[in-house]
Amino acid sequence: MLHKKLKPFPKDFFWGASTSAYQVEGANLEDGKGPSCQDVKELPPGTADLKTCADHYHHYKEDIALMAEMGFKSYRFSIAWTRILPNGTGEINPQGIEFYNNLINECLKYNITPIVTMFHFDMPDALDQRGSWSNRDSIEWFENYAKVLFANFGDRVKYWLTINEQNMLTLVGSVIGTLRVPEGTKNLTKEIYQQNHHQLVAQAKAMVLCHKMLPDAKIGPAPNIAFVYPASCKPEDILAAENYNAIRNWLYLDAAVKGRYNNLVWAYLEENDACPVFGEGDEEALQNAHPDFIGFNYYTTSTAEASNDWNEELEPNADQQTARGEAGFYKGFKNPNLMQTEFGWEIDPIGFRVTIRELYDRYHLPLLVTENGLGAYDKLEDGKIHDNYRIKYLYEHIKQIQLAITDGAEMLGYNPWSAIDLVSTHEGIRKRYGFIYVDTTDEKVGSLERYRKDSFFWYKKVIASNGEDLSF
Ligand code: BG6
């Protein structure tokens, strides 16, 4: 649809950016913090370890001041479960509580609204030893952790996100370093979807608890949503795209918002003899939970074509954005209409609008963009970083949000990835996303000095004009 006149961004739109604890904080075993699965995993060769990252733990005041200088209205960060509960359950670490109190208070000092992710890829190692999400007790562990968070920070944190990219934990957990498979597992798909089921129930219980303990707070899920296009208008390709849309996207939101499994996914699980076992009360738990909004990460769309052979050999999915397919259901397809980033991710700003339109049509809940961004090899030259490629990427995506608002979608905010450079999930700190450059490399920890990238100044202007001035 063409529009003659664009609607403005809402007055109280959350312009900000995102990070996650294990990728930005560093100090990963300091001040009582216990190890998470990220701290004990084998690192991909040539990537920075997680001891220092951007050292946000020690630099948070400077970092929040820089975010305030950009005019941030919100800062989306995650709380490290093991900073609060070093063993995942049991004793609370007072230094962990103190750190996040300080971080939250620092945001509030500048009128930056904290948007807190409760769980971002960092299961406590102690709980991993007890079977991680495979263990049904994980539902209780997560609910208990949620209770500690709401009790300690709920007086000031009004926006909560449950589990970051649960769909990626399920689809590419081995790439992100989160997947734990119990010895003797015979049907891996069944095992993974049982873990996924526990997460869905844990999330549902946390949402109910949040509404009970903090009546004026809002809570929602934060999956990675990428609309799936069919590779052609062949009816078989349309079916394949529907299959992958259901497996990649709708399963998670149908469960979170409608309290039930998506029927196409259920059929797929039946075919694989992989339906999760429901425990007592699970169905009710899913139905009782009602998110207030949908948080979602968007990087690019996917494209699928038919896979008409059960025995077709397909490699496993490569990462969050690169799907290879599932024999008999769909096959990943390289979209010839899209450019790619230096790291091989397709770039599709119009797909952002397509995704928003579809999301709003399906769920009719306010939408909060919790991630979007461009990973690139930035260069520091004479104290400057000329990242015009990032500005262009952000410009094109923000434009599409405005078009989606004009289409009638209710948008709460835009929090791209990332506020500041941090360590990527599996490609090191050389893959930079931030508005703020951090002087450090994969090979060795640098001065950790902060530099304002060109995108920093551009985003500042965008925020100051509430999205009216996107020029560059
Ligand atoms: C999302 C995650 O998948 O994408 C982030 O929520 C991640 O944790 C981001 O860093 C970018 O992905 P990557 O693999 O480039 O770090």
Q: Which residues are catalytic?
A: 165, 371
Q: How confident is the model at residue 321 (pLDDT cuts 50, 70, 90)?
A: confident
For residue 53, give the 3-state DSSP assignment.
coil
What pLDDT is stored for residue 415 in this prediction? 98
For tokens 């405005």, what's the residue? 402
How far, in Å, is the centroid of ligand 1 from the Cα of 122? 13
Q: CA-CA-CA-CA torsion for 344, 303, 390, 63, nearest 10 degrees?
A: -90
Would you say residue 471 lies in a domain? no
CB 285 within 8 A of CB 204: yes
Distance CA 466, CA 227 (A): 27
Q: Which of 334, 438, 426, 435 has the alpha carbon at shortest distance from 380?
A: 438
Q: How confident is the model at residue 16 (pLDDT cuts 50, 70, 90)?
A: very high
Q: Render pLDDT for 128-151 as a digit per residue (tens, 0 to 9).
A: 999 999 999 999 999 999 999 999
Would you say residue 470 lies in a domain? no
How far, in Å, is the centroid of ligand 1 from the Cα of 279? 32
The residue whose CB lies within 8 Å of the most ligand 1 atoms, and thus the one to mutate among 119, 122, 424, 433, is: 424
What pLDDT is stored for residue 1 in this prediction? 86
What pLDDT is stored for residue 313 in this prediction? 87
Q: How confident is the model at residue 323 (pLDDT cuts 50, 70, 90)?
A: confident
Q: How confident is the model at residue 212 (pLDDT cuts 50, 70, 90)?
A: very high
CATH number at residue 223: 3.20.20.80
Would you say residue 7 lies in a domain? no
Which atom of ligand 1 approaches the CA of 373 most closely?
A: 11
- List residues near ligand 1 (CB under 6 A): 20, 23, 164-165, 168, 224, 297, 320, 371, 375, 417, 424-427, 431
How far, in Å, is the centroid of ligand 1 from the Cα of 195? 21
What pLDDT is stored for residue 320 in this prediction? 81
The residue whose CB lies within 8 Å of the most ligand 1 atoms, and thus the one to mutate among 122, 340, 417, 431, is: 417
Which atom of ligand 1 approaches the CA of 319 most closely?
A: 14
Residue nearest to atom 8 of ligand 1 (CA): 425
Would you say residue 5 lies in a domain? no
Distance CA 416, CA 414 (A): 6
What is the pLDDT of the chain when averaged over all its residues?
Answer: 97
How far, in Å, is the centroid of ligand 1 from the Cα of 318? 13
What pLDDT is stored for residue 319 in this prediction? 82
> What contacts 24+ positions apart, CB below 8 Å, involve 244-251?
244/302, 244/304, 244/323, 244/325, 244/329, 244/330, 247/171, 247/326, 247/329, 247/330, 248/167, 248/171, 248/302, 248/323, 249/167, 249/223, 249/225, 250/362, 251/167
Would you say residue 3 lies in a domain? no
Distance CA 446, CA 54 (A): 10
Cα 92 from chain centroid?
26
Distance CA 305, CA 238 (A): 8
For tokens 């149908």, what's the residue? 254
Residue nearest to atom 10 of ligand 1 (CA): 424
How far, in Å, is the centroid of ligand 1 from the Cα of 222? 13
The residue whose CB lies within 8 Å of the most ligand 1 atoms, and thus the one to mutate among 166, 168, 320, is: 320
Cis amide linkage into residue 447, ω under 30° from 0? no
Would you say residue 4 lies in a domain? no
Domain count, the chain: 1
Q: The domain containing residue 147 runs over which residues?
A: 14-464
Distance CA 44, CA 220 (A): 32
Which atom of ligand 1 approaches the CA of 20 most closely?
A: 8
Would you say residue 337 lies in a domain? yes
Q: Render pLDDT for 375-416 as a digit per residue (tens, 0 to 9).
A: 999 999 999 999 999 999 999 999 999 999 999 999 999 999
Which atom of ligand 1 approaches the CA of 375 most closely?
A: 15
Beta-bridge mates of residue 413: 14, 368
Would you say residue 159 lies in a domain? yes
Q: Render pLDDT for 280-317 as a digit per residue (tens, 0 to 9).
A: 999 999 999 999 999 999 999 999 999 988 888 888 88
How far, in Å, is the centroid of ligand 1 from the Cα of 425? 6
Distance CA 288, CA 149 (A): 21
Above 90 in pLDDT, residue 67?
A: yes
Which atom of ligand 1 approaches the CA of 168 most closely?
A: 3
> pLDDT over 70 for what percent of the chain?
100
